Structure 1
Amino acid sequence: MEKIAFICTHNSCRSQIAEAFGKALASDAFESWSAGTEIKDQINPDAVRIMKERYGIDMIKNGQHNKTLAELPSVDGVVTMGCGVECPFLPCKWRVDWGLDDPTGQADATYLKTMEEIRQKVLDLRQQVLKERK
């Protein structure tokens, strides 16, 4: 099974959302991991709340937590969230940047917009991986 790492500076919002959607919607195509370069103490509470309310995904109950790049297994693909910083080199077969704005500190509507973008991108990535597997 292909392993994909979703990377964001603090591993507290976008990358955690991507990991959660990956586990919920694409576990038949790839394993989802997330990590950051300068992690925060906890996953963004607004992201946790809205994911649970809107999508029924409880990131904390599902065991997600902030992780450094060193905690990742070897991965096949790297997806960066659009952090505006140079992500360190991670050995992988492919890399893509999703260029997503960080909703941290914004209204719930902004979180929902970002979450929907991530959800769709995860579903698209799932289709791509499954197609390449054939």
Structure 2
Amino acid sequence: MTDSLKPSVLFVCVHNAGRSQMAAAFLTHHSQGAVEVCSAGSAPADAVNPAVVQAMAEVGIDLSAETPKALTTERVQASDVVITMGCGDACPIFPGKRYLDWNLEDPAGQGVEAVRPIRDEIQSRIRELLTELTG
């Protein structure tokens, strides 16, 4: 159950091993507790992409202990905003929820050099989202 005074955001991608993990980590970091944050995947991987862990470590965020989580109906229902990142029809849609689709390149199978621009784009979008959510 989320704190009703805080907006809640759910980031969803297929494997919950890259984009959604980075987005959740950035929002958690930048909101400093002002936003409830969760991420999940429609087909979660076994582990977070090592190149993603490395790219995030470069900006001072440790994802080494994170694990991909399965997307559930309950997670979607508990969120005020659902941001999808390439899960297509695998993501459940509920009336009354605010949905955003961030069309971002998938870092799966790519090295850290390819992940950095994806990371930076996500951080930029997170800053805009945070301004919108918290004023």
Same topology, TM > 0.5: yes
Q: Output the CA distance in 1 between the equivalents of 2:68 and 2:20.
A: 10
For these two proteins, the number of residue pairs brought into alignment is: 127
Aligned to 2:56: 51
Is contact 1:78–1:96 with CA below 8 Å preserved after alignment?
Answer: yes
Aligned to 2:80: 76
Give the secondary structure class of the aligned counterpart of 2:79: coil
1:74-133: CA deviation from partner (whole Å, max 9, x where unpaired) = 1100001134x21222565300001001122223222000000000000000000112xx
Aligned to 1:6: 11
Q: Output the CA distance in 1 between the equivalents of 2:96 and 2:20.
A: 17
Q: Could you say what the CA RMSD is over the residues aligned between the two structures, in angstroms?
A: 1.8
Is contact 2:7–2:35 with CA below 8 Å preserved after alignment?
Answer: yes
Code of the residue aligned with 2:98 in structure 1: it is: W
Structure 2 matches for 1:16-35, cutoff 5 A?
Answer: 16-35=21-40
Q: Does the C-alpha gap of structure 1 residues 49 and 15 become closer, same or farther in structure 2, counting only changes over 3 Å?
A: same
Q: Output the CA distance in 2 between the equivalents of 1:65 and 1:116.
A: 21
1:17-54: CA deviation from partner (whole Å, max 9, x where unpaired) = 101101111234411110010011111111112211x1
Q: Which runs of 5+ in 2 are unaligned?
A: 1-5
Q: Which runs of 5+ in 1 are unaligned?
A: none
Structure 2 matches for 1:113-124, cutoff 5 A?
Answer: 113-124=117-128
Aligned to 1:110: 114
Q: Output the CA distance in 2 between the equivalents of 1:11 and 1:34.
A: 7
- TM normalised by structure 2 equals 0.85
Identity %: 36
Task: List structure 1 segments (4+ residues) > 6 angstroms apart after TM superposition.
Answer: none
- TM normalised by structure 1 equals 0.85
Q: Output the CA distance in 1 between the equivalents of 2:27 and 2:104.
A: 16
Q: Does the C-alpha gap of structure 1 residues 38 and 90 become closer, same or farther in structure 2, counting only changes over 3 Å?
A: farther
